[in-house]
């Protein structure tokens, strides 16, 4: 595949296909858009035209540039019209048999030097390439929605994909203004695999009635620094879509319990409460509810003498500890005094949980202490690992497992999670900054509580190349 403006073919006129057409045409390529439905092709091109007109009206693009871009897009109603394409990007239905049939036909129609790629987010590239001629030129080219805006592209190698093809695709993606990350074809690739704990821990907390959905989302958003709370994000993605991806990853990993789907999310999907697109999911849309903040019940008496030594804070007789994955009650029994545990906080909000043996006045001292530091305080039930810490630890451990199994390098995993789902930091850089020993200790304590759902502790160790700040 030469570096000149070669012809690109896109198969599928849906949201992703249309977005990829726009990306390729914006880079100056002649683009063939194929779909079995002529109406889908028309809708896709009309949608591109409307987006371009919006950019022209906002002064982001000239009318001449918009017209030139549209002139490079040609409808194709027969696969044979893609014969001269040097790069084919398939964005059709997420069904293996459909993709295999398409790629088998493309291998006969297109030149042996043409690169055949799939935008699949979950189907094995090895399976798609099985049985076709020259499987070494088949790869995954996974864009993120909306493709014209999102910078990340996962370049996925199947078992037969050649290193040269991967390099060609990465160079092409870079010329298109995107950031390529390399990964091996395994369930979920990088982003859809490593992101599972972000949703799973929130669903588990909601199922176990640890806190309301509003509090859980606020904890991760305002305390953890994530751009959106996990439950609101599943509403935005669509409960049916997010649940299907979770089930796909769960089944592809032979039903490993760390990817266990949520029965509560299944109920929402079955009920048609799909989130924003249906008007009702976890929340009613538009979302207007706010989390209830914790307030001292006896503010005048809440002030305490503060003593800090060896990273342990004492408020009069109350022990204030950052969570290590144990409950406040267990710590209170061990230390023989009232205990309040607090969550990792990277924002203006902190999450607290108190031992059931505390008096209200004892817990109030901790609430008041953080309020005096300008923090909003969210109180939840006594829950091992609280919300932010356990989520970050599980994300870091999942990312580390992907590194150790050769799915991708540490740098590409952190890049993928920052650009693909807008995490404030890459999970590996985050794990390193918090301390791998601390992450391990928290995971070991969670494993004591949950058993096999968490990864074996021996999987947690600092990965090669996971140094420095990935933010």
Options 26, 118, 121, 157, the catalytic residue: 121
Kindly state the tokens that stand for 26. Answer: 């914006």
| Catalytic status, residue 142 | yes
Residue tagged active-site, from 26, 142, 157, 355: 142
Name the catalytic one among 154, 214, 362, 411.
154
Whether 345 sits among the annotated catalytic residues: the reply is no
For residues 178 and 4, what is the distance between their CA atoms, to the nearest angstrom?
18
Q: For residue 53, indicate whether it is catalytic.
A: no
Residue 292 known to be catalytic: no
Token reading at 385: 């690992």
Please pick, among 118, 119, 185, 192, the residue that the annotation labels catalytic: 192
Instruction: Please identify every residue annotated as catalytic.
Output: 121, 142, 154, 192
């Amino acid at each position: 595949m030469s570096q000149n403006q070669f012809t690109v073919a896109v198969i599928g006129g849906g949201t992703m296909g249309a977005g990829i057409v726009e990306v390729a045409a914006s880079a100056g390529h002649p683009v063939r858009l194929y779909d079995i439905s002529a109406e889908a092709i028309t809708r896709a091109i009309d949608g591109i035209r409307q987006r371009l007109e919006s950019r022209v009206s906002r002064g982001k693009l000239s009318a001449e540039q918009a017209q030139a871009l549209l002139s490079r897009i040609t409808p194709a109603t027969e696969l044979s019209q893609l014969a001269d394409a040097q790069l084919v990007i398939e964005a059709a239905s997420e069904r293996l048999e459909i993709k295999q049939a398409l790629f088998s036909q493309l291998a006969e129609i297109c030149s042996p030097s043409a690169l055949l790629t799939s935008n699949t987010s979950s189907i094995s590239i090895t399976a798609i390439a099985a049985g076709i001629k020259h499987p070494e030129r088949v790869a995954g080219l996974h864009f993120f929605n909306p493709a014209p805006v999102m910078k990340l592209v996962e370049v996925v190698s199947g078992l037969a994909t050649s290193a040269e093809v991967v390099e060609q695709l990465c160079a092409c993606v870079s010329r298109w203004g995107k950031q390529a990350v390399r990964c091996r074809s395994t369930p979920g690739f990088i982003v859809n695999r490593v992101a599972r704990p972000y949703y799973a821990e929130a669903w588990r907390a909601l199922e176990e009635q640890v806190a309301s959905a509003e509090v859980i989302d606020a904890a991760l958003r305002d305390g953890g620094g994530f751009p959106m709370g996990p439950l609101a994000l599943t509403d935005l993605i669509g409960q049916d879509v997010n649940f299907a991806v979770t089930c796909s990853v769960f089944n592809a990993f032979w039903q490993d319990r760390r990817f266990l789907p949520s029965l509560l999310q299944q109920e929402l999907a079955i009920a048609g409460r799909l989130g924003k697109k249906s008007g009702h999911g976890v929340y009613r849309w538009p979302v207007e509810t706010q989390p209830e903040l914790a307030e001292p019940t006896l503010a005048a008496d809440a002030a305490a003498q503060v003593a800090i030594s060896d990273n342990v804070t004492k408020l009069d007789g109350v022990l204030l500890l950052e969570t290590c994955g144990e409950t406040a009650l267990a710590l209170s029994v061990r230390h023989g005094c009232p205990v309040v545990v607090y969550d990792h906080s990277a924002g203006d909000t902190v999450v607290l949980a108190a031992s059931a043996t505390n008096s209200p006045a004892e817990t109030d001292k901790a609430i008041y202490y953080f309020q005096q530091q300008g923090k909003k305080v969210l109180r939840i039930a006594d829950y091992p690992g609280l919300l932010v810490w356990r989520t970050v630890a599980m994300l870091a451990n999942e990312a580390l497992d992907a590194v150790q199994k050769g799915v991708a390098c540490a740098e590409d995993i952190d890049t993928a999670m920052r650009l693909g789902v807008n995490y404030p930091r890459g999970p590996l850089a985050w794990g390193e900054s918090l301390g791998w020993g601390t992450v391990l200790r928290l995971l070991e304590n969670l494993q004591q509580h949950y058993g096999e759902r968490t990864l074996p502790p021996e999987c947690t160790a600092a990965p090669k190349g996971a140094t420095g700040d990935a933010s």
